[in-house]
A and B are shown apart, each in its own frame.
Chain A
Amino acid sequence: MYVSLKWLSKYVDISGIEPQDLAEKITRSGIEVEGIDYLSAGLKKLMVGEIKEKTKHPEADKLNICQVDFGEEELSQIVCGAPNVAVGQKVIVARPGAHLPGGKIKKAKLRGEVSHGMICSLQELGIEGKLVPKAYADGIYILPAETPVGADPVEVLGLDDIVLELGLTPNRSDAMSMLGVAYEVAAILERDITLPKAVAPTIAKKAADVLTLSVEAPQQNPMYAAKVVQNVKVGESPLWLQQALMAVGVRPHNNIVDITNYILMEYGQPLHAFDYDALGTGEIVVRLAHEGEKITTLDQKERSLKATNLVITNGKVPVAVAGVMGGLDSEVTADTTTVVIESAYFDGLSVRYTSKDLGLRSDASARFEKGIDPNRILPAAERAAQMMAELAGGEVLEGTVLFDELDKKPARIAVSPDFINARLGMKISLNEMVTILNRLRFHVETANGLLIIDAPTRRQDIKIEEDIVEEIARIYGYDEIPKTVPMGETTAGGLTPYQAKRRLTRHHLEGSGLYQALTYSLTSQELAQKYALETADTTRLLMPMSEDHSTLRQSLLPHLIDSTVYNVSRQAPSVAMYEIGSVFLGLEEDGLPHQEEHLSLVMTGKWVDHAWQGEQKSVDFYVLKGVIESLLEKLALSEHISYEAAVVDGLHPGRTASILLDGKRVGFFGQLHPKEQKELGLKDTYVAEINFATITAVPLDALIYTPVPRFPSMSRDIALVVDRTIEAGTIETVIKNAGGKLLKSVQVFDLYEGSNMPDDKKSLAFTLKYFDAEKTLTDVEVVEVHEKVLAALTETVNAELR
């Protein structure tokens, strides 16, 4: 909403206060002023001139040489390129030394002819092109003939104005009108307000004799008022009116349309003017549209209506989409002589849905949607008729054609001052409260210690006690609210076990060399299930903005791999990242997809890179496995976890493992398939996807310390030759089972394949540690259990001791 201060000062005295101070006060008490526009900024030394002579430029077809009178002894020669320049016009001239927003004007030669300045269009004065009246959109602006030569165009055009741009929240629809803003400013400044007097002179002829009205949808249209004005002369509005409209962002059209727009801005009441003769029937019928019914709106677009859309008809066909936009056929034109003024109340929801259906928003619909003041419908119609009489020479027919079932009673709110103070944590006296409510022009009485308030109907947002709390506080000043902290019982803050484990995981992975990444939950349908640990029905947006962000992911890996490609293609020598985020699977009973957090990791490139000592090592399967193992150890899950070779789409079939939690698959990790790597331009890249929600749901024992061993342990190394296909994990299990409780640990310390070894064999070496917490083990005891281990190895995996 734009507020012209010149216009505003018709209702409230704002003298003696700087615009920026006024803006600050308005902002601090509830409506944010987003900008202050000084309309004359950049304009200096302009002058009104009259064109006395015009001759064609000898060297240029499109240029004219004008002799312009400024009331000085001699005429000034000015070259002008505008197509609409003509002798006798009063025009805006920027003479040498003048300033325009585009720069300083100097005497110049145009194709050999001297030009003492420039004849200006409105755009050249800094007025937006879309606001310039269509007649002057492509040329210079022509001032009324009575404008005195030598005058300052800034004053003539009323550009000595300042405009505040208000950022309105949806509740403050009252401030979508100059009067609403005037009430607000009057309350803030504690000044009086002067309302416009709307009384139209009428002729004896009755409106009801020429127009009948029938409302068939009173729920959507509880009030409809129509006035008829005849013998209007459609033409340009006076400059003050055009300027007022342009200042608040409305393009002037003709006096009739301009008047309806002026009232819209002044009262916040959308009006529509029909050409009475174009209606053709002397009849207005408000009804719901027929499904598929057509209307061409003022913007010259044909629109197909739904059965829920409210329309104004002439009894036969729609002539306007109620509250949204008028129809082209009944538009006021230069030939219009009789006008029907519509001032009505259309239900907000109905307008909102219709406006959505048609994809058409207007100044009118924006106001109806949020709720207009039911008590301004009649005054607005009256005022429009009055202005049409004054500015268009119209004759106002007597009476208003009216349908009215609208409740116009103000909302009554009873609230105790104690409630207000308790809610604010303040001590404002009853008298101060009453004063503030009076400043806001709320009707207030006190009874039984309560404030009994009738909120004015222009303030549709004031309904409950809390609204009064806000009104009092914002005018009293939020700076006056003290700073306290909540009283009452002390509560223990903290993280849930899940949240604590997630932090632990993050810290562990970051300490292990991985960066935390953050990617989008939305992806393409194609990638939604790629590298998914499990898949289910996907969740897709109704109206995606792009296919890339259309579907919710079931794996974090595609985006994480994207980020890896991004970094690698920017010369990152290594990439190690993880992400913890939600995946979205299927549909639960409550109608929402199953949502759980996964952990994904990606690692590629150099893992050890110690240049001057010549140590370099690339990431491999076991680097990633080490990270995962240490994490699972940190999460106290080692006892529950096992690994088995696995095949996952998109991963290397010989270098992929499933992670099993108590035998159930909860994740996988491995190398990207070489084909994928090649396609993505990646070197060997290792990835993991783990169901983080599941692995962190395992209940953990309390941490109780185990006494530090008092007795030494004894180590035995063994080297075994086994079939290549036998996994180290299998051998480890055999050793652990045979070693019993004396076996403290088993560790692989060597793997050998190759020469000196048959092709189908490999050598694996283990260190076994034996330990007894009760005593020092004797050789005999160790030998006894170690023999058992060796026997088991021979028996189960056909191991040959080296």
Chain B
Amino acid sequence: MAMVEQLNELKEQVLSKIQSADNVKALNDVRVAYLGKKGPITDLLKGMGKLPAEERPKMGALVNEVRAEVQGVLEARMVTLEEQAVEEQLAKETIDITLPGRPVKVGNAHPLTRVIEEVEDLFIGMGYQIEEGPEVEKDYYNFEALNLPKGHPARDMQDTFYISEETLLRTHTSPVQARTMEAKKGEAIKIICPGKVFRRDSDDATHSHQFNQIEGLVVGENIRMSDLKGTLDLFAKKMFGDEREIRLRPSYFPFTEPSVEMDISCFKCGGSGCNVCKKTGWIEILGAGMVHPNVLEMAGYDPKKVSGFAFGMGAERIAMLKFGVEDIRHFYTNDIRFLEQFNRAED
């Protein structure tokens, strides 16, 4: 019977060791020490040879039973300790999530580009192509082809930087219209022309000798003034909000007839009058009109068969209105504290 007692004693000893092991490694040591090939339980099994043959099966079963029990307790203990180890590790690895993240360097588009691209994309969606032209332009395309012959009083409307008698810095993007019509040789046209233009102005808060225009031109059969109005209405609502109303006022440009100025209802006060709209409820946004027959004719189109509309706006003006910029010079100073403000989405 000594063996049975020995076994029980061993069992108590192991269970107590298992209980006192407080980490995975200690418990593994217990496993190796007691259940391993050289452990006391194995020794007991080896020692069974000395027992009488009839006691051996009974004893063997008993040893196996103890071994299984110990094993079970140990496994359970192991799960607990492993969980505990994970908890400890997680606690140790906990960080201060309120510390700032690693900054990602991101720049952004110039606000004028932002405005120009928005206009481009709106009109691309309506089937327009984007056309560009040279900044140094011929007098012919800048003026003459636009129904502004030499000596025309309306040339005074645009103070011009001349390079020679026949070349100049373009004063508007309209020469792109003339060039495009000339190149398209009578085909229908739907284009938007953004670009830099120049006027002989001293730079101050509201004047810049260089600025950007965005021009539109549609030429085809049966283009009507109502088409111009409908197109401008879509533009105004997209750029300045769905609630915007537009109104057209008669005006004058030598290259369009009739000519109009387009106002939008003030987006700040909604039309009741404020400092943005100078108490009128309306803000002047762009000039437009039906392409003058002389312009069509000079570009090789038959004004009896086709008609067209054109419109043009200042990108700076749109940007100043949209973003509340009070001084046009900000657009050309490239102060990062200014530029970086145009880095986010807006609805």
Alpha-carbon distance A426/B153, docked complex (angstroms): 32
A422 to B225, CA, bound (A): 9
A481: which B residues are within 8 A, CB to CB? 225-226, 229, 248
In the complex the two chains form, what is the Cα distance from A413 to B49 in whole Å? 135
Beyond A478-B250, A481-B248, A549-B209, is A563–B340 a contact (Cβ under 8 Å)? no
Residue of B nearest to A470 (CB): B258
CB-CB under 8 A from B13, the residues of chain A are none
Q: State in angstroms the CA–CA spacing of A591 and B141 once bound together.
A: 13
Question: Given A466-B290, A488-B221, A582-B135, are A516 and B107 also a contact pair (CB < 8 Å)?
Answer: yes
Query: Does A566 make an interface contact (CB < 8 A)?
Result: yes
Q: Select A521's contact among B100, B210, B339, B340, beta carbons within 8 Å.
A: B210
Residues in A with CB closer than 8 Å to B134 are: 582, 592, 595
> Given A486-B231, A563-B333 in contact, is the A30-B250 Cβ separation under 8 Å?
yes
Knowing A466-B290, A481-B226, A512-B105, say if A486 contacts B220 (CB, 8 Å).
yes
Residues of A within 8 A of B223 (CB): 486
The distance in angstroms between the C-alpha atoms of A599 and B277, with both chains bound, is: 39
- Interface mask (A643-685 → B, CB under 8 Å = 1, otherwise 0): 0000000000000000000000000000000000000000000
Q: Tell me whether chain B's interface is mostly helix, strand or loop, or mixed.
A: mixed
A contact residues around B337 at 8 Å (CB): 570, 572
Residue A209 CB within 8 A of the other chain:
no
Q: Which of B100, B129, B137, B231 contacts A592, CB < 8 Å? A: B137
Q: Say if the beta carbon of A349 comes within 8 Å of chain B.
A: yes
| Minimal Cβ-Cβ distance residue in B for A173 | B153
Q: Are A518's CB and B103's CB within 8 A?
A: no
In the assembled complex, A231 has its CB within 8 A of some CB on chain B? no
The interface residues of chain B lying within 8 Å CB-to-CB of A478 are 229, 247-250, 260
> Across the interface, do A423 and B136 meet the contact criterion of CB distance under 8 Å?
no
Interface residues of A in 17-68 (CB under 8 A from B): 27-30, 32
6 A-B pairs, CB-CB below 8 angstroms? A32-B251, A353-B151, A467-B257, A509-B107, A577-B107, A591-B138
Distance in angstroms between the alpha carbons of A172 and B226 in the assembled complex: 24
Residues 487-520 of A contacting B (Cβ, < 8 Å): 487-496, 499, 503, 506, 509-520
A261 CB-CB contact with B under 8 Å:
no
| Partner pick for B249 among A28, A495, A516, CB 8 A cutoff | A28
Contact residues, B125-149 vs A (CB, 8 A): 125-130, 132, 134-138
Excluding A171-B252, A495-B120, 15 further A-B contacts by CB distance (< 8 Å) are A32-B261, A170-B157, A464-B293, A474-B258, A478-B250, A487-B222, A488-B222, A493-B190, A516-B109, A520-B210, A522-B209, A545-B202, A582-B135, A591-B166, A595-B134
Assess the B333–A370 pair: CB atoms within 8 A.
no
B283 interface residue, CB < 8 Å from A?
no
Residues of B within 8 A of A539 (CB): 136, 163
A10, chain B: closest CB distance, angstroms: 26
- Evaluate contact between B110 and A518: CB separation under 8 angstroms: yes
Contact partner, B128, options A352, A493, A513, Cβ 8 Å:
A493
CA distance A581 to B112 in the complex (A): 14
Going nearest first, the 9 A-B pairs with the smallest beta carbon separation are: A425-B226, A513-B105, A425-B224, A169-B252, A470-B258, A483-B230, A30-B250, A563-B334, A493-B124
Answer whether residue A275 sits at the interface, using C-beta atoms and an 8 A cutoff.
Answer: no
Q: For the complex, give the distance between the alpha carbons of A170 and B254 in Å.
A: 9
Residue in B153, B259, B332 whose beta carbon sits within 8 Å of that of A370 in the complex:
B153
Report chain B residues within 8 Å CB of A542: 161-164
B102, CB-defined interface residue at 8 Å: yes
Contact of A540 with B by CB under 8 A? yes
Q: CB distance A511 to B336 under 8 Å?
A: no
- A348 beta carbon closer than 8 Å to chain B: yes
Q: Cα distance A159–B251 when bound, in Å?
A: 32
- The interface stretch among A391-399, A431-439, A607-615 is A607-615
Does A482 make an interface contact (CB < 8 A)? yes
B20 CB–A CB distance under 8 Å: no
Q: Is A415 an interface residue (CB 8 A)?
A: no
Tell me the bound Cα distance from A420 to B77 in angstroms.
Answer: 97
Q: Write out, one digit per residue, whether chain A residues 529-565 have a CB within 8 A of any chain B CB (1) or not (0).
A: 0000000000111111100010010000000000100
Which of A438-496 touch B at CB < 8 Å?
Answer: 464, 466-467, 469-470, 473-474, 478-479, 481-496
| A424 interfacial by beta-carbon distance below 8 Å | yes
User: Cα distance A517–B167 when bound, in Å?
Assistant: 28
**A494 and B129 contacting across the interface, CB-CB below 8 Å:** yes
Bound-state CA distance A423–B258 (Å) is: 10
Alpha-carbon distance between A572 and B333 when the two chains are bound, in angstroms = 14
- Residues of B contacting A515 in the complex (Cβ-Cβ under 8 angstroms): 107-108, 110, 334, 336, 339-340
The residues of A that contact B15 with a CB separation of less than 8 Å are none
**A682 → B minimal CB distance (Å):** 15
Please determine whether B249 and A517 come into contact, CB atoms closer than 8 angstroms: no
Given contacts A478-B260, A488-B222, are A506 and B109 in contact (CB under 8 A)?
Answer: yes
Category for how many chain A residues contact B: 35 or more
Question: With a CB–CB cut-off of 8 A, which chain A residues contact B107?
Answer: 509-516, 576-578
Closest to A485 in B: B230
Q: Does B14 contact A (CB under 8 A)?
A: no
Establish whether residues A491 and B163, one from each chain, have CB atoms under 8 Å apart when the complex forms: no
Question: What CA separation (Å) do A443 and B151 show in the bound complex?
Answer: 31
- Which listed residue, B123, B188, B224, B250, touches A423 by the CB 8 Å rule? B224
Residues of A within 8 A of B198 (CB): 521-522
Check A491/B108 contact, CB under 8 A, given A27-B249, A515-B340, A545-B202. no
Question: A230 vs B268: C-alpha distance in the bound complex, in angstroms?
Answer: 64
Would you list which residues of chain A between 672 and 716 have a CB under 8 Å from chain B? none
B331 at interface, CB cutoff 8 A: yes
Contacts of A487 in B (CB 8 A): 222, 227
Complex contacts, A567 vs chain B, CB 8 Å: 334-336
Known: A481-B248, A488-B222, A612-B100. A517 touches B339 (CB 8 A): yes
Residues of A within 8 A of B248 (CB): 478-479, 481
- Min CB–CB distance B271 → chain A (angstroms): 14
**Which residues of chain A come closer than 8 Å to B307, judged between CB atoms?**
423
- Tell whether, in the assembled complex, residue B190 and residue A522 are in contact, meaning their CB atoms are under 8 Å apart: no
**A493–chain B nearest beta-carbon distance, Å:** 4
A510 and B210 CA atoms in complex are apart in Å by 24
> In the complex, are the beta carbons of A613 and B334 less than 8 A apart?
no
Q: Quick check: is B200 within 8 A (CB to CB) of the other chain?
A: yes
**With an 8 A cutoff between CB atoms, is A369 at the interface?**
yes
Of the candidates A464, A474, A590, the one whose C-beta lies within 8 Å of that of B250 is: A474
Q: Are B225 and A584 neighbours in the complex by a CB distance under 8 Å?
A: no
**Distance in Å: Cβ of B194 to nearest Cβ of chain A:** 10
In the bound complex, residues from chain B placing their C-beta under 8 Å from that of A590 are 138
Tell me whether A510 and B163 are in contact (CB under 8 A). no
**Measured CA separation A595–B340 after assembly (Å):** 30
**Chain A neighbourhood of B153, CB < 8 A:** 170, 348, 352, 369-370
Q: Within the assembled complex, what's the spacing in Å between the Cα atoms of A612 and B307?
A: 66
For residue A162, which residues in chain B have a CB less than 8 angstroms away from its CB?
A: none
Interface-central residue, B231, B251, B259, by most chain A CB under 10 Å: B251
* B1 CB-CB contact with A under 8 Å: no
Contacts of A470 in B (CB 8 A): 250, 257-259
Nearest chain A CB to B106's CB is how many angstroms away? 6
Contact pick for A493, options B106, B127, B135, B261, CB 8 Å: B127
Q: Is B196 an interface residue (CB 8 A)?
A: yes
B-side contacts of A609, CB under 8 Å: 103
Q: Which residues of B contact A570 (CB under 8 A)?
A: 335, 337
Contacts of A464 in B (CB 8 A): 257, 293
Whole-angstrom distance between the alpha carbons of A117 and B109 in the complex?
63
Q: What residues on A are CB-neighbors of B126 within 8 Å?
A: 485, 493
Residue of chain B at shortest CB distance from A426: B226
Q: Are B136 and A593 in contact (CB under 8 A)?
A: yes
Given A169-B251, A485-B234, A510-B109, does the pair A519, B99 have CB atoms closer than 8 Å? no
- In the complex, A516 Cα to B115 Cα: how many Å? 13
Q: Give the residues from 586 to 614 in chain A that come closer than 8 angstroms, CB to CB, to chain B.
A: 590-593, 595, 607, 609-610, 612-613
The distance in angstroms between the C-alpha atoms of A352 and B153, with both chains bound, is 8
Tell whether, in the assembled complex, residue A483 and residue B332 are in contact, meaning their CB atoms are under 8 Å apart. Answer: no
Which A residues are in CB contact (< 8 Å) with B137? 592
- B 20-71 contacts with A by CB, 8 A: none
